[in-house]
Amino acid sequence: MPGAEPPPPWADGFSAFQVDGDFSGSFHARIHPPALLRHSPRTMAQSGMTDTRALAARALAEVALAGASLREVSARAMPALADSRDRALLMALLSEGARWWLRFDAALDRLLTQPLRRREPAVHALLVLGLVQLDVLRLDAYAAVAATVEAVRALGRPHLAGLVNAVLRRWQREGDGLRAALDAVPATRHAHPAWLVEALVRDWPDAAERVLAADNAEPPLMLRVNRRRANRAAFIERLRMDGWTAEPHAWLADAVKLPHSTDVTRLPGFAEGLFAVQDGAAQVAADLLAVRDGERVLDACAAPGGKACHVLERADVALVALEADAVRARRIDQNLARLGLTAAVVVGDAGAPQDWWDGRPFDRILIDAPCSATGVLRRRPDVRLHRRASDLPALVATQRRILDALWPLLAPGGRLVYATCAVLRAENEGVVAPFLAAHADARARPFDLPTGQAAAVGWQILPGDDDLDGMYYAVLDKVP
């Protein structure tokens, strides 16, 4: 929990968005602010960092109070900052502000006699960021408070500077008791919405606490070596020679693990297409598909193309990458080009194949279904702010529609892999089990993995299992 452990080691610079893989454009990992953030308020002001806090507060208010995407808001804010140190601070504040919003928002209910969310959303967000600096980033308290108070003036609300100072000073005086009160409730202890905590306890009673903690832990940076262009051992050696800490994943043949996130464009071999960014749990998909040369493969809901590219790196297949969003489909083209791969990228609705299918059956189909993304909260912290329990029925209906629509496209004897990055049973075996009951020509193929646990149908990797993201997989064979 915040404030309970010694500070983590600072990493240099800032973490870029993913440029490849299955979460392109989202925050890839916990951001480590550089050591300069411990400088004095004077140094911070000289570097422009006070304005950075104000910029972060406005952006975070959009994300937490207006439903904006963290990726989109941060991308708009970043060009305003020329100094890499300011960008590092902005990324740290936005990432951790979104991650811990639900905890510190609740804390402010105890610290403020009148809420500011509606009247002064940016100042409310700045207060959250002040608590983040003290408890999560664990910056020098005097410097952090002074710079945050200055940021109130940069927001054009100088009359509230005294209030901000008083609230942060009160947290410093009474923090132990306030933390204890927040920790007494699982939702505020782990900064998760109450509905999700209840769902995790219901679906995974023995693992819920572990999953909640994993959602707030720093994930590693996972790379996938492009075996068409590189050898994993040689690539790791190249990383190490350039000063990077890297190791092969124990059971994923193409995976390389780095302990901390970084701007991946700085890694050797990026421009050459030697690797892509993809969490190990997502790399399991290619193993389960087990494609062979000459086969015809459909990757439904394919953007940004991480799994499609992995399949193409494995075998010479004719692959159709289907994506409903034309803008996201362009990301598939970009990733294919960088990695030196070829596929037919089609814009279309996976649930309406009559609009795009040419009538030729597929030997393999991958459905990476739209889902709640509850398995990837450590990489996409704003999901916990935006997802609602009321979203689930529509998601499940979409998942069932896609599975029903694509099954007829699979050739007899073919294989379909159904996947989500969700941990809620309703989206996983809750979709697959009724499908199997309704289709006599569908058989669930049993399998197991070195980590995770068997579900009623298929296999569930929970967040943090072997330091992976949460993913669900089911493998269905079509009876000839």
358 is in an annotated binding site: no
Q: Is 37 or 105 the better-scoring residue by pLDDT?
A: 105
Q: Is 305 annotated as a binding residue?
A: yes
280-478 shares the fold of 221-277: no
Of the residues 89, 93, 369, 421, only one is catalytic, namely 421
Model pTM? 0.91
**pLDDT per position as a tens digit, 126-168:** 999 999 999 999 999 999 999 999 999 999 999 999 999 999 9
Question: Average pLDDT for residues 345-373, to the nearest whole number?
Answer: 98
pLDDT at 1: 53
Residue 285 confidence class, pLDDT cut points 50, 70, 90: very high
Q: Exposure string (b/e) for 130-142, b if CB count within 10 Å is 16 or more?
A: bbbbbbbbbbbee
Residue 434: Cβ within 10 Å count: 13
314-333 confidence digits (pLDDT tens): 999 999 999 999 999 999 99
Q: What is the pLDDT of residues 213-265, one digit of tens each?
A: 999 999 999 999 999 999 999 999 999 999 999 999 999 999 999 999 899 99
Domains of the chain by residue range: 21-191, 221-277, 280-478
Q: Is 371 a catalytic residue?
A: no
Domain 280-478 is classified in which CATH homologous superfamily?
A: Vaccinia Virus protein VP39 (3.40.50.150)
Q: Domain 21-191 adopts which CATH fold?
A: N-utilizing Substance Protein B Homolog; Chain A (1.10.940)
Res 26: pLDDT: 37
Give CATH superfamily name and number for 221-277. Sun protein; domain 3 (3.30.70.1170)
Q: Cα separation of 196 and 198, whole Å? A: 5
When pLDDT is cut at 50, 70 and 90, the band that residue 30 belongs to is very low
Q: 306 labelled as ligand-binding? A: yes
Please indicate if the annotation marks 302 as binding a ligand. yes
Give the C-alpha separation, 272 to 32, whole Å.
Answer: 27
Residue 8 has pLDDT above 60, yes or no: no
Return mean pLDDT, the chain. 92
- Residue 458 assigned to a binding site: no
